[in-house]
């Protein structure tokens, strides 16, 4: 498990790191939804 349920800071950090590793043209809708969900 990469983050614990309810650990918003780790979730946001992990989602941001995932976005940073991929070029913008490869960002998927699912990845955007994950980032938005963890930031909310």
What pLDDT tens digit does each residue of the chain (40 aa) get?
A: 577 888 888 888 888 888 888 888 877 888 788 778 777 7
How many alpha carbons lie under 13 Å from residue 28 in its C-beta half-sphere?
A: 6
Handedness of CA 19, 22, 26, 30 (dihedral sign): negative
Two tokens, residue 17: 């790191």
pTM: 0.58
Contact at 8 Å (CB) between 38 and 8? Answer: yes
The residue among 7, 6, 14, 5 whose CA lies nearest residue 35 is: 14
Alpha carbons 40 and 24: distance in angstroms, whole number: 22
């Amino acid at each position: 498990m990469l983050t614990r349920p309810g650990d918003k800071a780790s979730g946001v950090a992990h989602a941001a790191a995932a976005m940073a590793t991929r070029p913008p043209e490869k960002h998927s809708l699912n990845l955007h939804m994950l980032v938005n969900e963890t930031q909310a």
